[in-house]
């Protein structure tokens, strides 16, 4: 019998286990000043943060939901439990983490990865960080990697106040305001001047509670001449109730510093992923984004880079895989506001099983950005005719002395390529899987090996299976 | 008096914000009316020398001199060098939609000579040179290099050479990818240039076909950014027989 | 004066970019235009039913433009009978102050070949606005070629809109040079309804001083094996602004369709502003859609090649800028119009 290739829904069972929702403490659904104050109290916020949250709440209440992008009608913010605190406090020894939570991260391979190849690990379970550890030699170099809450009460308090939500302001959009009001958990990283971390730091976010929101805040400051690779992984089990992730990532890349920020996002398909990520890069600095979006029901994700210093540079490499029931609106934004800056955006997207993927971008080159260069390349693959793939790239150029290139392509797997591989004795199914893996090559070759393997497995799983 | 004197020229190429040195101290002297041939394996830096002499801003001269007609032109822009009497026939001429070949040449001629050129006289001169190159007169109205075949592009380059009649012409692989007939036509054009102006030539080439009807004065072998041997016309024959390996060994 | 919003993009994006639609102030009072029409082998009669069919077409500039032109428009009908071949010239000169409105209906019956040349100019003694809306209906096997040259005076407003329907094996080729006017709004939308229907659009523009050019081009691929090619090539000088929205929309079922957009912008002015949003929407697997854009100064290798012939950077840049316009101008297949363009740029240097 001839095998026909068809594309199976993503196999998420390895992420889909869930623990009983037995948390000690839960806040009533809905969003009020009282509730926000209660969060502040619970978290022992400094006074400025208490005020900040309340102001952000006001902004949230005034702002409207964006008129563009995928529908978020399925998300009823009033019924989302915005704050869930698991029944544990942060641990620095893995053995002290409660069994069920530990079990979760064991299944996700987090401690193994740490033992193998990471300089430090943070794990967030629902709203709080449950585990944080940094290798001794790394902390001896002066690298700080801790949860944001305790950092606010440490010697870095001023630094945090100076940077927190200065890059992504609460009035940026409705969900940034929401984040400002109810943020909880996340990481603070500081890499001092000239320090090069050869192995990555990693944070893992896990949303376990049903109908909950995760609002972690990641604040990373890479000082002059320093070098860091930060990896972020996300997942959640599947519930039939909408979950919300409105995290915020703020990255400050100093003069001649380099930061690589890698993300493999694999939230479950009930997740509304309305995440905001932004970096500002000083003179000669460099931000590199590597981004894989596989999960979520709806995603709005466009990491933004502000090239503020002369000669600063950004690279964005991304892949988005939208399957049945998914509407993933992803891309990147870059603002060139200094001379000699350069940006390179290279993305791939795959749509199948009725999924929708949209590549959305904005390249802004200001009048000051003389001798700047920007190149955007996006490629989309349609795997069947019930899916959808859109490309919405915008360019806004105000400097004549700039060089802007853009290329986009939408199509399907080439019959010729499949035929060529089949001529070499490879089955049609394998040929297609190989072609799709090759298509995703831009991202996998930028990831650390373990992650590249995991991503490739996700794609292979996706492409396997046969009917009739 | 020598027309071109290149003294200890080092040249780097700007590539993704980094500079990579390609030529490491090149010396060459060309007198009025002489024909020099530059040969060497792929990647030796032959085209780089051509670009550097003509002033491509991507090729940065780190040190050394380019004395042309008694003046150091190493810091001059390409248009100034052209006005001084230098010409480069490009290996891959670029295409400009909407710019007719004829009016481009007319503008160039006016610019180089600094004089207005009468339309009638120009058309006559152009027709004459096009005839030498077996070019249909229709080409004058076609957009510069747009839709031209490889051979037509090279003919258009030589047509510009004839019309601009410089003191020195650098021909970068003008014969590569051409069939026998096209090489013959291009050679005829080059001879015409020499006759007209007693022009000097620096011919960068892989093959000898283009040299057949020309009287070569000097042959240079370039390897890894240096001229490792200079000889007379007979060197071309020797290279054909033995390849470059022998000379590379000798120079070590 | 009153404000009107036009050129809405088929899918929205971030509002802060201000690219989703364009707005312009136009005179509230109606102006006038002198119109000359020359038909060769076409008549000016069209049934009410067909008129309605044309008026119902979606256009690039959108419903507000259609509503604007629904009243007080001068109407021109060009109807070419089945199998016939017609040549038509429409010369529109905006005359009195205010907003002059013209609507053109081009109907190409089965298997006909229709060529229409349109050019716009203005009475230089006053300032005003000219709105032209052209509907094109290409029946089965028909070929419509529409050439438009905008040469209005420097302070004029130009609104130039097109809506087209293309049936099976029919084609619609549009060649436009938008040169004159301070505010130039243009749009075109082609519904590629039939199998193997085709839309080819080639656009040239030249922004100078404070010009604002706002464009919206859309190809809707409905028919199988439909094909579109939208090419824009322009120059921005001085303080001019340009916004180009280009959308290829592959609807489900448009199997084997191909679409190509390309844009080339030469940036010359110190304070130019160039915005581009090339959208590809795709709900069909078996299609190929591509887009390429190149925006910036004259390419460095090109600059070296041309300056190596003795001309300085400035004259080479001018020459290339002009060549961009001439490249489109050549495709007008009309020497009189080519000459008009030449005059617009200050006349010929030759002879």
- pLDDT at residue A466 in the model: 27
Instruction: Indicate the Cα dihedral angle C333, C337, C343, C348, nearest 10°.
Output: 30
- pLDDT at residue C86 in the model: 97
Q: Which residues does residue B15 pair with via DSSP β-bridges, in sequence order?
A: B18
Residues of C in contact with B82 (CB under 8 A): 307-310
The set of long-range contacts for A428-434, using a CB threshold of 8 Å and a minimum separation of 24, is A428/A3, A428/A4, A428/A5, A429/A3, A429/A5, A429/A463, A429/A464, A429/A466, A432/A5, A432/A463, A433/A459, A433/A460, A433/A463, A433/A464
Q: What is the ipTM of this complex?
A: 0.94
- The values of phi and psi at residue C212, to 5°, are -125, 120
Nearest residue on chain C to B97, judged by CA atoms? C327
Residues of C in contact with B118 (CB under 8 A): none
Q: Tell which of A396, A409, A416, A432 to mutate to test the C interface (max C CBs under 10 Å).
A: A396
User: By three-state DSSP, how is residue A246 classified?
Assistant: coil
Q: Are A408 and C12 inside 8 Å of each other by CB?
A: no
Nearest residue on chain A to C255, judged by CA atoms? A385
Q: Single out the residue of B228, B86, B98, B233 nearest to residue B160, CA to CA.
A: B86
Bridge-based pairing of strands A128-134 and A120-125 is antiparallel
CB A358 within 8 A of CB A390: yes
Q: Are C304 and B87 inside 8 Å of each other by CB?
A: no
Q: Are C289 and A401 inside 8 Å of each other by CB?
A: no
Place of tokens 């085209």: B47
Q: Single out the residue of A92, A105, A89 nearest to residue A25, CA to CA.
A: A89
Task: Choose among C311, C325, C351: nearest Cβ to B108.
Answer: C311
- pLDDT at residue A81 in the model: 46
What the block records as the tokens of C146 is 């529409």
Q: Tell which of C308, C315, C322, C351 to mutate to test the B interface (max B CBs under 10 Å).
A: C308
- pLDDT at residue B166 in the model: 95
Q: Which residues does residue C200 pair with via DSSP β-bridges, in sequence order?
A: C173, C229
Compute the distance between CA of residue B28 and CA of residue B50 in angstroms, rounded to an integer. Answer: 12
Q: Which residues does residue C86 pair with via DSSP β-bridges, in sequence order?
A: C114
Place of tokens 């609002």: A215
Please list the ranges in chain A whose pLDDT falls under 70: 1-30, 77-133, 205-213, 234-242, 461-468
Q: Tell which of C305, C307, C310 to mutate to test the B interface (max B CBs under 10 Å).
A: C310
Q: Are C307 and B79 inside 8 Å of each other by CB?
A: yes
> Taking the CB of residue A37, how many other CB atoms lie within 10 A of it?
15
- pLDDT at residue A74 in the model: 79
Q: Are C310 and B103 inside 8 Å of each other by CB?
A: no
**Model confidence at B198: pLDDT above 80:** yes
- pLDDT at residue A28 in the model: 47
C309 touches chain A (CB under 8 A): no
Q: Which residues of C touch B (CB under 8 A)?
A: 300-302, 304-313, 315-316, 319-320, 322-330, 350-351
Using alpha carbons only, give the angle A244, A248, A250 rounded to the nearest 5 degrees: 170
- The values of phi and psi at residue C80, to 5°, are -110, 125
CB A391 within 8 A of CB C279: yes
Q: Are B111 and C310 inside 8 Å of each other by CB?
A: yes
Compute the distance between CA of residue C169 and CA of residue C252 in angstroms, rounded to an integer. Answer: 19
Q: Which residues of B touch C (CB under 8 A)?
A: 51, 54-58, 77-79, 81-83, 87-88, 90, 93-94, 96-99, 103-104, 107-108, 111-112, 119, 143, 160, 164
What the block records as the tokens of A323 is 């399957």
Interface size between B and C, measured as CB pairs under 8 A = 84
Nearest residue on chain C to B118, judged by CA atoms? C351
Q: Are C330 and B57 inside 8 Å of each other by CB?
A: no
Q: Are B56 and C306 inside 8 Å of each other by CB?
A: no
Q: Which residues does residue C3 pair with via DSSP β-bridges, in sequence order?
A: C25
Task: Choose among A67, A382, A404: nearest Cβ to C12.
Answer: A67
Task: Choose among B83, B94, B164: nearest Cβ to C302.
Answer: B94
Nearest residue on chain C to A351, judged by CA atoms? C285
Task: Choose among C304, C307, C327: nearest Cβ to B97.
Answer: C327
Task: Choose among A367, A393, A407: nearest Cβ to C271.
Answer: A367
Task: Choose among A367, A390, A412: nearest Cβ to C286.
Answer: A412
CA distances from B48 to B8, B29, B53, B168, B172 (A): 15, 17, 8, 17, 10
- pLDDT at residue A461 in the model: 67
Compute the distance between CA of residue A301 and CA of residue A329 in angstroms, rounded to an integer. Answer: 7
Q: Are C302 and B78 inside 8 Å of each other by CB?
A: no
Task: Choose among C236, C255, C280: nearest Cβ to A408.
Answer: C280
Per-residue pLDDT of chain C (351 residues; tens, 9 = 90+): 999 999 999 999 999 999 999 999 999 999 999 999 999 999 999 999 999 999 999 999 999 999 999 999 999 999 999 999 999 999 999 999 999 999 999 999 999 999 999 999 999 999 999 999 999 999 999 999 999 999 999 999 999 999 999 999 999 999 999 999 999 999 999 999 999 999 999 999 999 999 999 999 999 999 999 999 999 999 999 999 999 999 999 999 999 999 999 999 999 998 999 999 999 999 999 999 999 999 999 989 999 999 999 999 999 999 999 999 999 999 999 999 999 999 998 865 443
Q: Are C309 and B57 inside 8 Å of each other by CB?
A: no
DSSP-derived letter for residue A81 is B
Sign of CA dihedral C254, C256, C257, C262: positive
pLDDT per residue as tens digits for the range B142-193: 999 999 999 999 999 999 999 999 999 999 999 888 888 889 999 999 999 9
- pLDDT at residue A1 in the model: 34
User: By three-state DSSP, how is residue B143 classified?
Assistant: strand
Q: Are C310 and B79 inside 8 Å of each other by CB?
A: yes
Q: Are A68 and C289 inside 8 Å of each other by CB?
A: no
Sign of CA dihedral A204, A208, A211, A213: negative
Distance from CA of A387 to the nearest CA of C (A): 6
Radius of gyration of chain A (CA): 22
Task: Choose among C301, C305, C311: nearest Cβ to B111.
Answer: C311
User: By three-state DSSP, how is residue A338 classified?
Assistant: coil
- pLDDT at residue A442 in the model: 81
Compute the distance between CA of residue C318 and CA of residue B103 in angstroms, rounded to an integer. Answer: 13
Compute the distance between CA of residue C85 and CA of residue A58 in angstroms, rounded to an integer. Answer: 67
Residues of C in contact with B107 (CB under 8 A): 311, 315, 319
Q: Which residues of A289-306 are buried (b: 16+ CB within 10 A; e: fewer)?
A: bbbbbbbbbbbbbbbbbb
Q: Single out the residue of C134, C74, C79 nearest to residue C104, CA to CA.
A: C134
Report the share of chain A in percent with pLDDT over 90.
45
| Average pLDDT over all residues of chain A | 81
pTM of the prediction? 0.88
What the block records as the tokens of C275 is 């915005």
Compute the distance between CA of residue C313 and CA of residue B147 in angstroms, rounded to an integer. Answer: 25
Task: Choose among C282, C284, C293: nearest Cβ to A405.
Answer: C293
DSSP-derived letter for residue B154 is H
Q: Are C312 and B143 inside 8 Å of each other by CB?
A: no
Interface size between A and C, measured as CB pairs under 8 A = 141
Question: Chains meeting A at 3+ CB pairs closer than 8 A?
Answer: C
C17 touches chain A (CB under 8 A): yes
Compute the distance between CA of residue C38 and CA of residue C336 in angstroms, rounded to an integer. Answer: 14
Per-position DSSP letters for A87-128, written without gaps between them: S---BSSGGGS-HHHHHHHHHTTHHHHHHHH-SEEEEEETTE
What the block records as the tokens of A65 is 């939901």
What the block records as the tokens of A173 is 């959009």
Sequence-separated (6 or more) residues with CB below 8 Å from residue A259: A220, A222, A227, A228, A229, A230, A251, A253, A279, A285, A286, A287, A288
pLDDT per residue as tens digits for the range B33-78: 999 999 999 889 999 999 999 999 999 999 999 999 999 999 999 9
Max CA separation in chain B (angstroms)? 58
C window 239-278, beta carbon within 8 A of A: 250, 252, 255, 267-278
- pLDDT at residue A269 in the model: 80
pLDDT per residue as tens digits for the range A237-293: 555 556 788 899 999 999 999 999 998 888 778 888 999 999 999 999 999 999 989
**Model confidence at B214: pLDDT above 50:** yes
CB A121 within 8 A of CB A131: yes
What the block records as the tokens of B241 is 């027989």
Nearest residue on chain A to C279, judged by CA atoms? A392
CA distances from C191 to A411, C77, C166, C178, C225 (A): 21, 20, 6, 23, 13
Residues of A in contact with C292 (CB under 8 A): 406-408
């Amino acid at each position: 019998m001839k095998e026909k290739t068809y594309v199976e829904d993503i196999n998420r069972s390895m992420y889909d286990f869930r623990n009983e929702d037995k948390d000690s403490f839960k806040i009533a659904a809905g969003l009020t000043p009282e509730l926000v104050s209660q969060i502040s109290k619970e978290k022992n916020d400094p006074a400025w943060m208490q005020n900040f949250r309340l102001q952000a709440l006001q902004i949230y209440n005034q702002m409207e939901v964006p008129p563009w992008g995928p529908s978020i009608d399925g998300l009823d913010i009033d019924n989302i439990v915005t704050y869930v605190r698991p029944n544990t406090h942060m641990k620095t020894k893995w053995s002290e983490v409660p069994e069920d939570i530990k079990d979760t991260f064991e299944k996700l391979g987090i401690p193994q990865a740490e033992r193998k190849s990471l300089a430090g690990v943070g794990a967030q379970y629902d709203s709080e960080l449950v585990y944080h550890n940094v290798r001794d030699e790394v902390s001896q170099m002066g690298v700080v990697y801790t949860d944001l809450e305790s950092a606010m009460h440490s010697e870095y308090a001023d630094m945090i106040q100076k940077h927190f939500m200065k890059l992504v302001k609460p009035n940026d959009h409705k969900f940034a305001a929401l984040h400002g009001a109810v943020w909880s958990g996340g990481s603070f990283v500081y890499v001092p001047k000239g320090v090069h971390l050869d192995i990555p730091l990693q944070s893992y976010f896990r949303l376990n509670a049903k109908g909950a929101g995760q609002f972690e805040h990641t604040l990373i400051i890479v000082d002059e001449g320093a070098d860091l690779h930060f990896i972020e992984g996300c997942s959640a089990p599947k519930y039939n109730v909408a979950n919300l992730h409105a995290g915020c990532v703020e990255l400050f890349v100093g003069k001649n510093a380099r930061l690589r920020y890698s993300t493999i996002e694999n939230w479950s398909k009930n997740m509304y992923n309305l995440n905001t990520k932004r970096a500002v890069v000083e003179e000669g600095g460099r931000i590199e984004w590597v981004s894989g979006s596989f999960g979520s029901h709806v995603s709005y994700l466009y990491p933004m880079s502000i090239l503020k210093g002369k000669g600063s540079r950004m690279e964005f490499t991304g892949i988005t895989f939208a399957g049945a029931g998914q509407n993933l609106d992803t891309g990147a934004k870059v603002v060139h506001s200094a001379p000699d800056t350069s940006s390179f955006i290279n993305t791939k997207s795959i749509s199948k099983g009725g999924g929708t993927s949209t590549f959305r971008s904005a390249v802004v080159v200001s009048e000051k950005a003389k001798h700047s260069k920007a190149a955007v390349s996006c490629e989309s693959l349609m795997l069947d005719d019930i899916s959808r793939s859109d490309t919405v790239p915008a360019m806004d150029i105000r400097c004549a002395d700039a060089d802007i290139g853009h290329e986009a392509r939408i199509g399907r797997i080439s019959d010729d390529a499949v035929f060529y591989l089949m001529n070499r004795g490879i089955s049609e199914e394998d040929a297609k899987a190989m072609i799709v893996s090759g298509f995703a090559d831009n991202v996998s070759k930028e990831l650390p090996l373990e992650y590249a393997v995991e991503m490739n497995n996700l794609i292979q799983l996706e492409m396997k299976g046969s009917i009739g | 008096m020598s027309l071109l004197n290149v003294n200890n020229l080092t040249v780097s190429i700007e590539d993704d914000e980094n500079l990579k040195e390609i030529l490491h101290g090149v010396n060459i002297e060309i007198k009025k009316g002489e024909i020099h041939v530059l040969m060497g394996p792929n990647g030796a830096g032959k085209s780089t020398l051509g670009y550097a002499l003509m002033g491509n801003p991507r090729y940065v001269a780190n040190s050394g001199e380019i004395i042309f007609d008694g003046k150091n032109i190493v810091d001059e822009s390409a248009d100034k060098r052209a006005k001084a009497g230098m010409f480069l026939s490009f290996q891959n001429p670029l295409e400009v939609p909407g710019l007719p070949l004829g009016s481009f040449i007319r503008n160039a001629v006016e610019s180089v000579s600094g004089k207005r050129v009468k339309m009638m006289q120009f058309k006559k001169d152009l027709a004459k040179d096009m005839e030498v190159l077996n070019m249909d007169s229709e080409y004058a109205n076609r957009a510069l290099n747009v839709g031209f075949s490889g051979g037509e592009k090279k003919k258009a380059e030589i047509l510009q050479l004839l019309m601009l009649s410089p003191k020195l012409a650098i021909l970068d692989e003008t014969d590569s990818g051409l069939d026998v007939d096209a090489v013959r036509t291009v050679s005829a054009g080059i001879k015409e240039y020499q006759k007209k102006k007693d022009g000097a030539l620096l011919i960068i080439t892989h093959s000898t076909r283009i040299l057949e009807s020309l009287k070569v004065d000097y042959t240079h072998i370039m390897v890894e950014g240096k001229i490792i041997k200079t000889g007379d016309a007979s060197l071309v024959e020797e290279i054909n027989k033995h390849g470059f390996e022998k000379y590379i060994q000798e120079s070590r | 004066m009153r404000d009107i919003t036009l050129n809405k993009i088929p899918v929205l994006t971030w509002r802060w970019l201000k690219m989703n639609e364009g707005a312009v102030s136009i005179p509230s009072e109606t102006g006038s235009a002198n119109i000359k029409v020359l038909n060769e082998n076409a008549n000016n009669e069209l049934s009410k039913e067909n008129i309605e069919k044309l008026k119902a077409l979606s256009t690039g500039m959108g419903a507000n433009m259609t509503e604007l032109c629904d009243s007080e428009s001068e109407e021109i009908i060009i109807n070419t009978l089945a199998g016939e071949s017609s040549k038509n010239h429409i010369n529109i000169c905006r005359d009195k102050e205010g907003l002059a409105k013209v609507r053109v209906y081009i109907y190409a019956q089965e298997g006909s070949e229709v060529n229409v040349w349109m050019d716009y100019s203005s009475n230089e003694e006053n300032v005003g606005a000219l709105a032209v809306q052209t509907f094109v209906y290409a029946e089965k096997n028909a070929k419509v070629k529409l050439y438009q040259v905008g040469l209005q005076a420097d302070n004029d407003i130009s609104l130039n809109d097109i809506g087209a329907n293309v049936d099976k094996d029919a084609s619609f080729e549009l060649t436009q040079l938008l040169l004159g006017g301070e505010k130039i709004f243009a749009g075109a939308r082609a519904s590629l309804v039939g199998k193997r229907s085709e839309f080819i659009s080639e656009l040239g523009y030249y922004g100078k001083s404070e010009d604002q050019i706002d464009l919206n081009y859309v190809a809707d691929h409905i028919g199988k094996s439909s094909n579109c090619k939208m090419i824009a090539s322009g120059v921005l000088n001085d303080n001019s602004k340009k916004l180009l929205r280009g959308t290829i929309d592959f609807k489900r079922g448009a199997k084997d369709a191909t679409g190509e957009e390309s844009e080339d912008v030469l940036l010359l002015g110190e304070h130019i502003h160039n915005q581009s949003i090339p959208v590809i929407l795709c709900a069909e697997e078996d299609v190929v859609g591509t887009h390429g854009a190149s925006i910036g100064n004259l390419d460095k290798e090109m600059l070296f090649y041309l300056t190596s012939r003795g001309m300085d950077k400035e004259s080479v840049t001018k020459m290339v800028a002009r060549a961009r316009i001439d490249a489109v101008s050549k495709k007008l297949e009309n020497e009189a119009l080519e000459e008009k363009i030449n005059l617009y740029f200050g006349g010929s240097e030759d002879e």
